[in-house]
Structure 1
Amino acid sequence: MQIDCTGPHARDIAAPTATSRKYAWIIFALTFGLLLSDYMSRQVLNAVFPLLKQAWGLSDTQLGSLSGVVALMVGVLTFPLSVLADRWGRVRSLIIMATLWSLATLGCAIATNYGEMLLARAFVGLGEAAYGSVGIALILSIFPPHLRSTLTGAFMAGGAFGSVLGMALGGFVAVHLGWRASFGAMACFGIVLVIVYRLVVSDARIAARFPDRQAAREEAAGMRTSLRALIAGLFSTVSVVCAYVGSGLQLFIMGAVIAWMPSFLNRYYAMPADKAAAGAAVFVLLGGLGMVACGVITDRICRHAPSRKWLTALAYCLISLVLLSVGFRLDAGPLQLVLLGAGILVVAGTSGPAGAMVANLTPSAIHASAFATLTLANNLLGLAPGPLVTGMIADRIGLLGALQVIPFVSLAAMLAFAIGRARYVRDLSRIDALRGQAANNKPSLHV
């Protein structure tokens, strides 16, 4: 997801030294590595769906709940845990989160029934809840403003790459060593990275090497101490609420299709679990590449007319609706796979425009909270219910029938984006006016 955080309200920060730049890139690499572990631990479950169904006799609703509970915990806890992380220290919080989801993934490996697995998966979600928002906030705080879009796009794409690794490696390990070994491997990877992160990165080192950035972060945190002002800034306009809602609804489709793609390939293409997981990983990779590509296309098209970003979001919704709904109605074969791949390529393309609109419609001092709110909407409206609802429908009309219905959620997303576009110019003018007032009444920023 691309987020425009380099506007005129961004704080000017002194250029870092060569040593600081090197340390910043080390922090980026390690934080990115933990993001890979985050999504590998989350998505390995999808690769072993067929094996779990066979071993425990689970229904599709139960399988969907094991996937959806992680996104549910992420959606519910992202915002409060992001706020707490600013007070506890971001590095310390990231280490605690990664330790928790790694141990919880190890718990999945030793679960003996559905209830134990559901509880372990809930703790995976608890650990992962605020990692994305806190991780990107840490990274952006130690790099110059002109790199923010590039770094944000690269960091968010890591979710797709981690999903690919989790599904592909998880399926391979499950077939050769059993599904428990798949969870164990993901847990070990996370624990090793946590140890390395703890030895290399600390809040004290960052404060010493990037004093200007640390001061900027503390100043922004001080501006967010008023809960009333924070809520007002996050939900100040109809159009920003529409951006939250539209993004979440569109990701409902992404979450559903990605979670059930290994089972789809297993049931309708007779692929064994490892090959089905590897095939599904290709679709996940397409989704991640599409997020980046659609964000770049949107920025190019809308360079001189930012309001067109609403139109690109509407276009991505419509294109994905047509491609996926037609694709799932075709007979199994190459043409079906091509259409499904093309649909998944654009289905999450709305993430870029939605993120840009949220950045434009909220004060820069609360952007971290705004993106945490966007993450909450993405999970509560999309990634959490998507797999579960699909499983519930599949229990009644079959998995193929459920996947034929799910793409029509795009119509609701299109409605939200259309309302946001209609109100955007008026709302943006109001926000700009309030920003001007805030600038003339420093140091307070009650927007």
Structure 2
Amino acid sequence: MGLQAPATPRVDTALGIGGRRKLYPWIVFALAFGLLLSDYMSRQVLSAVFPILKADWDLSDSHLASLSSVVALMVGLLTFPLSLLADRWGRVKSLILMAVLWSVATLLCAIAQTYEQMLGARFLVGVGEAAYGSVGIAVVLSVFAPRVHAALAGAFMAGGSFGSVIGVAIGGFIAVQFSWRWSFAAMAIFGLILVALFRALVTEKKLTAYAVEAAPDAAGEAVRNDGFRAPVSSLFTNPAVLFAYISGGLQMFTAAVLLAWLPSFFNRYYDLAPDKAGVTASVFVLLVGSGMVVCGFITDRFSRDDSARKWTTAIVYCAISLVTLSIGLRLDTGTAQLVLLGIGAFFSAGSSGPTAAMVANLTHHSIRASAMGTLTVANNLLGLALGPFVVGILADHLGLLGALQLSPFVYVVAALALVAGKRAYPAGMRRLATLQNRPEIPGATEVAEVRSS
């Protein structure tokens, strides 16, 4: 009888507090992921209404490109400083403010009367969205055990493509059925509803209560919490890390072009109405997001015994996209072209996961969030902002198809950066090991342990 007394409290704990501890992190993930969808829906709905805006306001392709690229430009410029500010001011308050700003700015897009007003509203959308990705994933990871961080981070990053799919598909449908202004308004309303839910259910106090301490994980990766913080300069003094930043940004160039210009491509060359063009393009955008998840999984499997193989898989993904998109964009419209474009789209951002993993491998854990913020800056400045804008300018002179045909060749530069990064990788790992094995830290890890992380 005496042994049975403690049994009831254990059962109650499992069904009560334990159950809540398992459920609440997933509520945080669902709401943060939902806001990420809203983020990209508000950003990419513009692509669905490109043909209508071009006709209504008599805009050039470079004008349309600037409306798209200004968002990514602001994200690239402001991600790092706003992420640092959010860590000091409070992540939950920062996320709420960001989401309110981009939702209200999207509503301003709906009532814009001129190109200049639309550009100003899109500028504010970019300011609101700037640090959401880095701060949002930090909030999510804080309430989950380290052993599932990689999978969660991959799913969170792919959410951008899924949000783009929804934004383009629904935006194009609403634009045809009602008007392009309602396309923006719908995205804004969706965002504000999610903000209200997030504000009601997620607080700094609850995140602190449910926080998972950075203890050794199931794989045995010990994270020392000795108060040491690596210098921020180490984010930029390791050549291998720099090559990872550069390749990461450049491999997003053509993926960003596909996200922004495929609706217009199908409208102009397949004679599809804006709503049907948006739906067709959304299939390819979905392939981009799916490719990020699948290619990341393949990379993890292939590089299990040698982390340097991540560079190899990233090079292969770039090569596949280069070949399939280059050939596909030069074929006549039809099934063969669509198949090759689909393959190219699937692998177009496939190296984003390997690149992020390489940056994580090469940076000290104390500044890893800052490293991811730096990678986000590179992705936006070299890819998401630069790609659509450059193609828009080229389209004014060469036509949209001619500009699209040139865009895959950026993968050549990205692959060269990956090759250089792979060659610098061993030295980069030794540099990291030196930082981790500094004399004042007892029991420092070996290089082999770093490579297996």
TM-score (norm 2): 0.90
The separation in 2 between residues aligned to 1:125 and 1:313, in whole angstroms, is: 28
After superposition, give the CA deviation of every residue in 1:164-183 in whole Å (9 maximum; x if it has no partner). 10000000000001000000
Partner letter of residue 148 of structure 2? L
The separation in 2 between residues aligned to 1:99 and 1:74, in whole angstroms, is: 16
Identity %: 58
The residue number in structure 2 matching 1:388 is 389
The residue number in structure 2 matching 1:325 is 326
Secondary structure at the counterpart of residue 437 of structure 1:
coil
The residue number in structure 2 matching 1:64 is 65
The separation in 2 between residues aligned to 1:167 and 1:121, in whole angstroms, is: 16
Partner letter of residue 50 of structure 1? P
Q: Can you give the 5+ residue segments of structure 1 that lack an aligned partner in the other structure?
A: 1-15, 443-447
The residue number in structure 2 matching 1:314 is 315
The separation in 2 between residues aligned to 1:197 and 1:22, in whole angstroms, is: 15
- Name the count of aligned residue pairs: 420
- Contact 1:266 / 1:276 at 8 angstroms: preserved in 2? yes
The residue number in structure 1 matching 2:3 is none
- Contact 2:161 / 2:286 at 8 angstroms: preserved in 1? yes
The residue number in structure 1 matching 2:176 is 175
Deviation at 1:143, TM superposition (A): 0.5
Partner letter of residue 130 of structure 1? A
Structure 1 residues 81 and 178 mapped into 2: Cα distance closer, same or farther (>3 Å)?
A: same
Secondary structure at the counterpart of residue 43 of structure 1:
helix
- Contact 2:92 / 2:204 at 8 angstroms: preserved in 1? yes
After superposition, give the CA deviation of every residue in 1:241-294 in whole Å (9 maximum; x if it has no partner). 000000101101111122000000000000000000001100100000001111
Partner letter of residue 418 of structure 2? F
The separation in 2 between residues aligned to 1:279 and 1:412, in whole angstroms, is: 30
The separation in 2 between residues aligned to 1:300 and 1:140, in whole angstroms, is: 22
Partner letter of residue 393 of structure 1? L
Q: Can you give the 5+ residue segments of structure 2 that lack an aligned partner in the other structure?
A: 1-16, 216-223, 444-453
Deviation at 1:208, TM superposition (A): 2.8
The residue number in structure 2 matching 1:401 is 402
Structure 1 residues 221 and 206 mapped into 2: Cα distance closer, same or farther (>3 Å)?
A: farther
The residue number in structure 2 matching 1:282 is 283
- Contact 2:34 / 2:194 at 8 angstroms: preserved in 1? yes
The separation in 1 between residues aligned to 2:421 and 2:307, in whole angstroms, is: 13
Structure 1 residues 405 and 96 mapped into 2: Cα distance closer, same or farther (>3 Å)?
A: same
The residue number in structure 1 matching 2:76 is 75
1:192 matched to 2:197? The reply is: no
127-136 or 20-29, larger mean C-alpha shift: 20-29
The separation in 1 between residues aligned to 2:440 and 2:304, in whole angstroms, is: 26
Deviation at 1:238, TM superposition (A): 0.5
The residue number in structure 2 matching 1:10 is none
Structure 1 residues 438 and 380 mapped into 2: Cα distance closer, same or farther (>3 Å)?
A: farther
1:431 matched to 2:427? The reply is: no
After superposition, give the CA deviation of every residue in 1:387-435 in whole Å (9 maximum; x if it has no partner). 1100100000100000001110111101111110111011112211221
The separation in 2 between residues aligned to 1:301 and 1:361, in whole angstroms, is: 19
- Contact 1:27 / 1:139 at 8 angstroms: preserved in 2? yes
- Contact 1:86 / 1:221 at 8 angstroms: preserved in 2? no
After superposition, give the CA deviation of every residue in 1:346-368 in whole Å (9 maximum; x if it has no partner). 01111011111100100011111
Deviation at 1:233, TM superposition (A): 2.4
- Contact 2:169 / 2:275 at 8 angstroms: preserved in 1? yes
The separation in 1 between residues aligned to 2:190 and 2:228, in whole angstroms, is: 38
Structure 1 residues 124 and 266 mapped into 2: Cα distance closer, same or farther (>3 Å)?
A: same
Counting only pairs closer than 5 Å after superposition, residues 235-384 of structure 1 correspond to structure 2 as: 235-384=236-385
The higher-RCO structure (CA 8 Å, 6+ apart) is 1
- Contact 2:246 / 2:414 at 8 angstroms: preserved in 1? yes
Partner letter of residue 326 of structure 1? I
The residue number in structure 1 matching 2:143 is 142
After superposition, give the CA deviation of every residue in 1:49-88 in whole Å (9 maximum; x if it has no partner). 0000010000000000000000000000000000001001
Secondary structure at the counterpart of residue 437 of structure 2:
helix
150-159 or 126-135, larger mean C-alpha shift: 150-159
Secondary structure at the counterpart of residue 17 of structure 1:
helix
- Contact 1:104 / 1:123 at 8 angstroms: preserved in 2? yes
The residue number in structure 2 matching 1:24 is 25
Deviation at 1:191, TM superposition (A): 0.4
The separation in 2 between residues aligned to 1:261 and 1:145, in whole angstroms, is: 38
Deviation at 1:207, TM superposition (A): 1.5
Deviation at 1:210, TM superposition (A): 3.0
Partner letter of residue 157 of structure 1? A
The separation in 1 between residues aligned to 2:383 and 2:347, in whole angstroms, is: 16
Structure 1 residues 208 and 46 mapped into 2: Cα distance closer, same or farther (>3 Å)?
A: same
The separation in 2 between residues aligned to 1:265 and 1:34, in whole angstroms, is: 29
1:210 matched to 2:218? The reply is: no
After superposition, give the CA deviation of every residue in 1:72-126 in whole Å (9 maximum; x if it has no partner). 0000000000000100111111000000000000000000010000010010010
Partner letter of residue 347 of structure 1? S
CA RMSD of aligned residues (A): 1.8
